[in-house]
Amino acid sequence: MMSRFQHSVDSPFHISVGAVLVNGEGKVCVHKRTRENIPSELHDKLGGLEEVFILMRESLEDGESLEYAVHRGLMEEFGAEGELGRYLGSIQTRITPGTSYETEKTTLYFAARLTKLGERPEDEESDSDLEWHEPVYLIDRMRDQGLQTNRGDLDESKILEAYVHYR
């Protein structure tokens, strides 16, 4: 059965959560995806760019709280545990996820302080490199990503700006 939070032809809406995972040095963990580390059938995820930086995002599943989904996403995507902080805002965009219909995707973002970094699970999310960067560096990269593509969800700069402003 399809989750009520994930898009389908009958319900072109999607809800996910995201996190700004910050270590003790104040650096943010991101997925760095390049044409070399992503299967060719998923190149549309890059919006035509050679490389992209993406915060942790996880689709919400039926019956789970937002907080649980963030914790699950941190573990599944980064092999990390974190203490959740404030809500940082949302990004709503329209995407065509390799289908014939358009989807309205909403991602709700939270700050998270790294408490434990373990082994990253091997799954479909492990095709990216994990990198830690200063928030200001990522703000500029993500803003450029948004300007160079038609993928509104590749510009997460406003979320990082909210983190910097409200931390």
What pTM was computed for the model?
0.90
Over residues 136-143, mean pLDDT: 97
Phi, psi of 147 (to 5 degrees): -70, -30
- Indicate the residue type of 163: Y
| Residue 9 confidence class, pLDDT cut points 50, 70, 90 | low
Q: Render pLDDT for 55-81 as a digit per residue (tens, 0 to 9).
A: 999 999 999 999 999 999 999 999 999
Residue pair 59/14 in contact by the 8 Å Cβ criterion: yes
Task: Determine the pLDDT at residue 164.
Answer: 98
Higher pLDDT, 46 or 141: 141
| Helix (DSSP H) and strand (DSSP E) numbers for the chain | 3, 7
142 pLDDT above the threshold of 90: yes
pLDDT tens per residue, range 25-59: 999 999 999 888 777 766 776 777 889 999 999 99
pLDDT band at 7 (very low <50, low <70, confident <90, very high): low
pLDDT, tens digit, 9 for 90 and up, residues 92-119: 998 775 666 788 899 999 999 999 999 9
User: Domains plus CATH for the chain?
Assistant: 13-166 (3.90.79.10)
Backbone torsions φ then ψ of 117, nearest 5 degrees? -120, 120
Higher pLDDT, 59 or 122: 59
Q: Is the pLDDT of residue 5 over 70?
A: no
Helix axes 135-148 and 157-166, enclosed angle (nearest 10):
150
CB 17 within 8 A of CB 107: yes
Q: How confident is the model at residue 1 (pLDDT cuts 50, 70, 90)?
A: very low
